[in-house]
Amino acid sequence: MPEDELEDLPGVGPATADKLVENGFESYQSIAVASPGEMSNTADIGESSAADIINAARDAADVGGFETGATVLERREEIGKLSWQIDEVDDLLGGGIETQSITEVYGEFGSGKSQVTHQMAVNVQLPPEHGGLDGGCIFVDSEDTFRPERIDDMVRGLDDEILVDEMERREIEGTPSDEEAMEELVGAFLDQIHVAKAFNSNHQILLAEKAKELAGEHEESEWPIRIVCVDSLTAHFRAEYVGRGELADRQQKLNKHLHDLMRIGDLFNTAILVTNQVASNPDSYFGDPTQAIGGNILGHASTFRMYLRKSKGDKRIVRLVDAPNLADGEAVMRVQGEGLKPE
């Protein structure tokens, strides 16, 4: 939305409009759903003035009303499903990773969390008939996990039928057995993965805001952003906020970060995939003591929660822990050189 339209709101002049846009309040809707305290703190506007601006934006944006279930169903038909290329896991998720939702994957070190984010960065670029979303990927890397070599492996590990179709679609001459053509195809996949390394939690939060800008720039392009991967969501927050005295501050910042990510999902019909670290619960006497960190803030923000557990050899157990409309269950996959594969 152009800044001059924000100036139509009472109390918003050119300088205030600049502040609002700089802090992510770019539309009537984004202002309408903010709280006076949030706007006051982030945009340096008095709380009373912020309340007046928000109320005016709510009237202008017509938010907060009710709608019929049929209207909600119609809107949900726009949601895309990103396939894992593993039938058993896709069935568990009702078809795959949903756009406009946060999917959290947690597990111990080496359980395959980063493998999932790399695989989805590849799969998202496939057309819907092959389980993809015809889109690009934003990859926020907080643990130095992104490896282009792994993308190379996973592209080469796609089915030959998919590889032939992708070469034709991307106008690459050759066949999957032609090394030069395959190198060109891998490069084409890498071109649609936008990677940024987060150096601390504040930088990670900033990158989420930059991701929103990037998604907006690509929305009308041939490769709109259809997935944002954050690997891992909690590493920096866990390292920087140590002890119970820091817990409230950590959770508050984590909550804001999650809402920034969710905004991208809602605005651009994008899937949000985050990985999470775990801790051992010493109070657990029965069953698996492993639990995701991040507390209720992350638990409530994640639409789908998935737990990865090591099994024998390259096998991994994928467990759906929480979903609003799906039953809990488990599936088995393998983490191999060519990527994630069925059992």
Which of 81, 84, 85, 80 has the alpha carbon at shortest distance from 161?
Answer: 85
**Strand-strand pairing, 278-280 and 290-292:** antiparallel
Per the listing, tokens 């709608």 go with 67
**Would the pLDDT of 265 be above 70?**
yes
Rounded CA-CA distance 234/256 in Å is 13
Does 1 have pLDDT greater than 60? no
Residue 214 burial (CB count, 10 A): 19
The answer to whether residue 302 scores a pLDDT higher than 60 is yes
Task: Give the pairing of strands 304-310 and 315-322.
Answer: antiparallel
Q: Place domain 75-341 in its CATH homologous superfamily.
A: P-loop containing nucleotide triphosphate hydrolases (3.40.50.300)
Is the confidence at residue 67, as pLDDT, over 70?
A: yes
Mean pLDDT taken over the chain:
91
Is 108 part of any known ligand binding site? yes
When pLDDT is averaged across residues 78-102 and rounded to a whole number, the result is 96
Residue 139 known to bind ligand: no
Amino acid at position 297, single letter: I
Residues 6+ apart with CB under 8 A from 249: 241
> What is the model's pTM?
0.82
110 is in an annotated binding site: yes
Cα–Cα distance measured from residue 326 to residue 331, given in angstroms and rounded to the nearest whole number: 14
The residues, any chain, with a CB within 8 Å of residue 16's CB and separated by 6 or more, are 6, 43, 45, 53
Domain residue spans in the chain? Answer: 6-61, 75-341
Comparing CA positions, the residue from 262, 232, 331 lying closest to residue 99 is: 262
Which pLDDT score is estimated for 4?
45
114 known ligand binder: yes
Spatial distance between the Cα atoms of 210 and 182, rounded to a whole number of angstroms: 32
pLDDT value at residue 291: 79
Q: Is residue 48 marked as binding?
A: no
Statement: residue 282 has pLDDT above 90: no
Given a contact cutoff of 8 angstroms between Cβ atoms, the answer to whether 155 and 219 are in contact is: no
Is 19 known as a binding-site position?
no
Please tell me whether 111 is known to bind a ligand.
yes
What is the pLDDT, as a whole number, of residue 38?
Answer: 82
Confidence check: pLDDT of 284 > 60: no
CATH number of 6-61: 1.10.150.20
3-state secondary structure of 97: strand
Q: Which pLDDT score, from 0 to 100, does residue 224 have?
A: 98
Residue with tokens 């998202």: 124
pLDDT, one tens digit per residue, over 100-118 is: 999 999 999 999 999 999 9
287 marked ligand binding residue: no
Q: Average pLDDT of 219-236?
A: 96
Confidence of residue 63 (pLDDT cuts 50, 70, 90): low
Q: 276 and 232 in contact (C-beta within 8 Å)?
A: yes
Bridge partners, 341 (sequence order)? 334
pLDDT reading at 151 higher than 80: yes
Distance CA 236, CA 253 (A): 11
Rounded Cα gap, residues 268 and 270, in angstroms: 5
Q: Which candidate, 251, 215, 216, 213, places its Cα nearest to that of 233?
A: 251
